[in-house]
Structures are given as structure tokens and as C-alpha cells.
A and B are shown apart, each in its own frame.
Chain A
Amino acid sequence: MTVDDQRDARVARHGELVLPKYESAAGVHPPLDTQAYQSSRLRAPGRPLVPLPQGLTEITGPLLGPERVTAADADLTAGHAGEPLGERIIVSGRVLDSDGRPVPDTLIEIWQANASGRYLHHVDDHPAPLDPNFTGAGRCVTDSLGRYQFVTIKPGAYPWRNHYNAWRPAHIHFSLFGRAFTQRLVTQMYFPADPLFSLDPIFNSIPDPEARSRLIARFDIDLTQPDWALGYNWDIVLRGRTATVFETEGI
């Protein structure tokens, strides 16, 4: 009997499939129909979301790892003829689930504006200079303890057309997979004490101020490297599992 056959038999013996269950994210994420964010007006669904029971498709997900990254991908200041302009920073932290368990071997993708607040994108017409030594995209995979680290430059604030004199607080976009479809998350990391926080409808779309504050990185003198770069620490917490099939079946 192969391992597969044993598992099949165990599932069959119990008469039903026992799957992990991921906790609800209710109340954490921004409401889709946040009117102060103009772009949501024609794009946010108007009808209520339909509850989707977590089945096999939802509790599994792509396990994208080292095959999608090289070590150089975590250094956004490298790979060009010269060094980018701006304040060099180290951004580091852990990916955890809400039980405090690290999420190892998971792909993180980031993108950001340059130090002048300009994105390398044809739609961005902010009259601030592009930097020939900065593209603004990075990737890495968390280690066995869920840790990640990027080297980059601090992005600038930039204007947008949401309302009169609208400026986005400086931020880095983060994309995470976790280990299940339920854990997929795209978000933004902000920097401490940004004067634009109170004016930004995207940051303030998160209803709970405490949840909002979890998007702000912490300046970390221990992560800061003398004569080289400031360190910012930011942990990311994905939805945790309330049970696993192995724990349940072990009884």
C-alpha cells in the first residue's frame, strides 16, 4: 500500500473529507465600495458577496518558491549601470499566520515608485524624474522561519487625481501567496509618521485604526547598517488555520 493509498483509505474510513479551515478576515480589509476612493465607483461590485465554503480549491494554492526568483531579485538597487538616487533602505520582517506560525518558502513580490515619487510606467505622468538606475520591482522567497529581506530605496510621495491636491503617502506594494488560495494578499507597506496618512482615502479605507496601523513599518536601529542603509521592520500576518486534517485525524 502506497502512502497515497493509505491517505485515501483514511479519508474513506472517516466517510468524509476533513479539511483545514481558514479564519474569517471579516472587518479587517477595506470595504470594496469606499466612495472616497474615486476609482472604486465604477469598479467595486454592487451586489453582496456570496459566501463560498472552503473546499479543496480554497485550502490549497500555488506553492511558488525558489524557481521563480534569483538572489539578485531581492536587491532593487542592483542590476543597473549605477546606483539609484535616494535613501537606501533595508526592509525586513516575517510572514506569519494569525496563530503566530511562520509561513516559510512563500513568494513575495514588491513594486514601488522611485525616490522622486515616479513609477516606471507609461501611465504615470507625474513631472518628476525617472531614474535610469531604478526599475522598482523585487521578489524573494521567505526562509524556513518565514523571514524576508529586501534592499531598496525609500519611495517618494506622489500626487494623484483622486481629489484636489491629493498625494499618496510613500509606500511599497507587497504581493503574497501564503500556502492557500484563502491566504492570497496584496497590500501596501507605509513608513512611520507620514504626514499624509490622515488625508489618504486608500490608507483610511481600512475601517479599524488598529488594523490600519499594521501597515506601517517600524524603524529598526538594529536592522540599520552603519554608514550604509536605514532598516525598517514589517511583519505580514495572513489568515490562520483553525484546524488541520492531521490533528483531527490523529484523535
Chain B
Amino acid sequence: MSQGLTPSQTVGPFLAIGLPWPDGPFVVPPDTPGSIVIEGKVLDGAGQPLPDALVETWQADPDGRFDHPDDPRGPAVAAGNFRGFGRSATDPDGNYRIVTFRPGPLPCPGGGTEAPHIDVSVFARGLLDRVVTRIYFPDEADANAADPVLASIGDQGRKATLIATQEAGGQFRFDIRLQGEGETVFFDV
């Protein structure tokens, strides 16, 4: 290392000027067959929704592949319109929404398999750096039980904050609690 890293600063209250994209929430185009919806609220330590947050997602495709040169397994085979990346500003009630495919499982560098998951960054006024969490799926009990990241979190209640819930219509809900009771597990990546 020769150059000092550039430090982070908060996005502040006005990120809506520069960051939201009309197509941001659509990791795959609307109404793509097989797509899923993940939605939830971003909440503060008093349980109040954040109307000024930004949620970003990054994930593998359904085959567990990335269209990226640093994946040593080679590029994704059939990326199609799958962007892998989602971005949703929260609405006045603190809701975000992403339309995507379910990701596949991934091999780990040290052996073993990571359960299907989506990496999440949350940006907001009051956060001097992004906070990072992961979305896992409720109907992947065996894969989740074998996942090394989930296994590193001993407390069952804490672990549960990383697992989405399934709602009527096949949608998934993943609320993000920044602080206090039920605080979501956040990662140092």
C-alpha cells in the first residue's frame, strides 16, 4: 500500500438530487418471468422510518455467477438483462423495493458453500459510512444452516435479522433496523 485511502463521508439529506435512477430498483426489467420482489422499511433507533435513505443491492445470478472479470470461474453464461445491481431510494414512509432474480449458491474461498444471498449497502443522513448487511432467504433452511457467514453469528435472534420473510404473492420482506431492538446485523467487509 502506497497511497492513503480516501475516507467516507455521509450522503447527507439531499442524495435524491444525485443518486436515484428511474430504473434503479430493476435488477431485471419489470415483469421478467421468474423475477421476485424484495421490499422493506429502513428504520431508526426509535422505530421511525427513514424517508431519505438509499438501499443498494449486489448479487449473483440464479446460477451463482457474476458477469465480472475477477470471478475466477469465468463470466456468467446467460446474463441477459440481469444487472446484478439494484438501487432504491426510500419513499416518505421509509420503504424500498427491488425487483430481481433469486441468486444461486456460491463456492467459498476456503471450501464450503455460501447460501443464496444478496449484499446490501445502506446510505443515509446520519451514516458517516455506508452500512452493509445481507439478505438470505427463508425457504433455504439447509443452505442457510451450512452458510459460514450465518454460522459466524451465534445468537439466533441476531441471525434472524438477516433472513427475509415471505409474504402473500411470493414477495419477500426485509426490514433494516439501524439501531436498537431487533437491530439488523451489519458487517465489516
Contact = CB atoms under 8 A, between A and B. Distances in A.
Interface of A: 3-4, 7-8, 10-11, 16-20, 23, 25, 28-32, 34, 37, 39-47, 49-64, 68, 96-100, 109-111, 119-121, 123-124, 135-138, 171, 173, 175, 179-182, 184-188, 202-203, 205-206, 210-212, 214-215, 236-240, 244-245, 249
A36 to B, nearest CB: 11
A84 B177 CA distance: 41
Contacts of B59: 57
B152 to A, nearest CB: 7
Given A59-B70, A202-B9, A29 B129 contact: yes
A109 B19 contact: yes
B24 to A, nearest CB: 11
Contact of B71 (A41, A60, A215, A237): A60
Residue among A7, A29, A57, A121 having the largest count of chain B Cβ atoms under 10 Å: A57
Given A49-B186, A245-B72, A62 B58 contact: yes
Contact of A58 (B4, B50, B189): B189
Nearest to A15: B111
Given A7-B73, A51-B188, A52-B187, A175 B125 contact: no
Nearest to B85: A62
Interface of B: 1-19, 21, 44-46, 48, 50, 52, 56, 58-60, 66-68, 70-75, 77, 83-85, 106-111, 114, 117, 119, 121, 123-132, 134, 148-149, 152-153, 178-180, 183-189
Given A40-B126, A49-B186, A245-B70, 10 more contacts: A4-B73, A8-B74, A23-B1, A34-B128, A50-B152, A98-B4, A120-B17, A173-B14, A181-B119, A202-B128
A55 B113 CA distance: 10
A241 B56 CA distance: 23
B88 to A, nearest CB: 14
B18 A44 contact: no
26 contacts: A4-B75, A18-B72, A20-B70, A29-B129, A30-B8, A37-B128, A42-B48, A42-B179, A43-B124, A53-B148, A56-B106, A57-B117, A58-B189, A60-B71, A96-B3, A97-B3, A98-B2, A98-B5, A109-B18, A171-B9, A186-B10, A202-B10, A214-B7, A239-B5, A240-B1, A249-B72
Contact of B4 (A18, A29, A111, A214): A214
A52 B189 contact: yes
Contacts of B19: 109, 111, 175
Given A51-B188, A54-B189, A202-B9, A181 B179 contact: no
A175 B83 contact: no
B179 A100 contact: no
Residue among B50, B127, B180, B187 having the largest count of chain A Cβ atoms under 10 Å: B127
Q: 8 smallest A-B Cβ distances: which pairs? A: A111-B18, A43-B126, A39-B126, A62-B85, A52-B187, A30-B128, A49-B188, A60-B68
A44 B187 CA distance: 13
B3 A215 contact: no
Contacts of B72: 7, 10-11, 17-19, 245, 249
Contacts of B124: 43
B18 A110 contact: yes
B3 A186 contact: no
A8 B65 CA distance: 12
A175 B119 CA distance: 18
A214 B6 contact: yes
A120 B17 CA distance: 7
A100 to B, nearest CB: 5
A8 B8 CA distance: 37
Given A25-B5, A28-B7, A50-B153, A173 B15 contact: yes
